[in-house]
Amino acid sequence: MSTPIGQAESPVRPLTVLSEEEKMFQQAVRRFARDEIAPRAREMDEAGAFRQDLLKKFFELGLMGIEAPEEYGGQAGTLFQAVLAVEELAAVDASAAVIVDVQNTLVLNALLRWGSDDQKRRYVPRLAQDTVGAYALSEAGAGSDAFALATRAVEQGGDYILNGRKLWITNGYEAAIFLVFANADPDAGYRGITCFIVERGFPGFSIGKKEDKLGIRASSTCELILDNCRVPKANMMGEKGRGYKIAIETLNEGRIGIGAQMVGLARGALELATTYAQERKQFGKPIADFQAVQMDLARMATDVEAARLLVYNAARLRDAGFPFTQEAAMAKYFASQIAESVASRALEIFGGVGFTRDYPIERYYRDAKIGRIYEGTSNMQLLTIAKHVLGKR
């Protein structure tokens, strides 16, 4: 097996104890993130665009096909390996992390599990080697109520004709392959929802508005327009009417990835604050010498470690084949809460300069907010957790 950045095993082991291969992988991604992405993060944030040369390096390093089998040009890795990559990228730039996260935990994950052999042969090699993918579920009226889809799919000869608009689609600007959810049988309600593999060049498909966002600005978030978009029947993924199941089960795994993104972001903010506290002097000594600052840093470090344990636990459970839905919801909920809190407290340690763009901490603060919103709001995670606690799952 050939891999440019190492491979991870998937045994169940103590959560933060990594195998030697996992350590090598983690360190390789960390070096790449710090050397290649960190120096360009502000530029990309201000431009609202991710550099194409860095995107190309994602593919060269194998980061865009972590769980894809070797026969398709992937790394034959694990979800835990993807979690390590997302965390390391997010420690320097949350936008970089979510690009890799969506590619692996949503798009490839769904295709590998639900795609036919023919679909895997046609699309997995592209996704692993040179093509960005996107996951198109959300609509204007279908956010937390994810299955209130207005997009329709009508069978016509050997094709399906799709009509509707998708909103808030991550990777939408760069992607060439889209997993699009549409209702092929509205009378059946959510049981009519079906997943289709749509290529950018299909007739009737176009990219609409690119959102101008508060945070993760270098990650594109776009509207997709389906105007009599013609999709071959061979591109229906899974069975007709089973799209809701694909969506639910894929998002359960995707939430672990978002948890990892938030852990990385929080860790990066903590590292910035720790360094600054040792450099900034007041009353003749570094502010890190003051007990109040020490206690705040200690609380932040504890929060980050607790969130990491939740995320790693959920990823290990999934890779080992155990139930993980509750743990994934807990990981996403808690990690997104502490990311916002740690970023805020880290900014306060910087004082007035933290509120300017002279230091990157303000970007971490802006980037953190989305964690409590996308791939299931905090309230939706709490409802999922409550159902498991009450035995109603």
Q: What is the pLDDT of residues 100-132, one digit of tens each?
A: 999 999 999 999 999 999 999 999 999 999 999
CATH number of the domain located at residue range(s) 244-389 in this protein? 1.20.140.10
pLDDT of residue 77: 97
How does residue 367 score in pLDDT terms, banded at 50, 70 and 90? Answer: very high
Q: Which of 315, 340, 348, 329 is nearest to 262 (CA)?
A: 340
Q: Which of 265, 390, 246, 389 is nearest to 327 (CA)?
A: 389
pLDDT of residue 269: 98
What does the DSSP assignment read for 226-252? EEEEEEEGGGEESSTT-HHHHHHHHHH
Q: Which residues in 83-96 are b (16+ Cβ under 10 Å) and which e?
A: bbbbbbbbbbbbbb
Active site residues: 375
CATH number of the domain located at residue range(s) 134-241 in this protein? 2.40.110.10
Cβ-based neighbours of 282, under 8 Å, separated by 6 or more: none
CB 366 within 8 A of CB 214: yes
Return d(Cα 123, Cα 80) in angstroms, integer.
23
Q: What is the pLDDT of residues 68-80, one digit of tens each?
A: 999 999 999 999 9
Asked whether the domain spanning 134-241 has the same topology as the one spanning 20-132, the reply is: no
How does residue 14 score in pLDDT terms, banded at 50, 70 and 90? Answer: low
Coil, helix or strand at residue 111 = helix
Architecture of the domain defined by 20-132 = Orthogonal Bundle (1.10)
CB 167 within 8 A of CB 217: no
Mean pLDDT for the stretch of residues 160-182: 98
For 348, other C-beta atoms within 10 Å of its C-beta total 15
Ranges of each domain in the chain:
20-132, 134-241, 244-389
Q: What is the pLDDT of residues 32-59, one digit of tens each?
A: 999 999 999 999 999 999 999 999 999 9
Q: What is the pLDDT of residues 198-227, one digit of tens each?
A: 999 999 999 999 999 999 999 999 999 999
Q: What is the pLDDT of residues 253-293, one digit of tens each?
A: 999 999 999 999 999 999 999 999 999 999 999 999 999 99
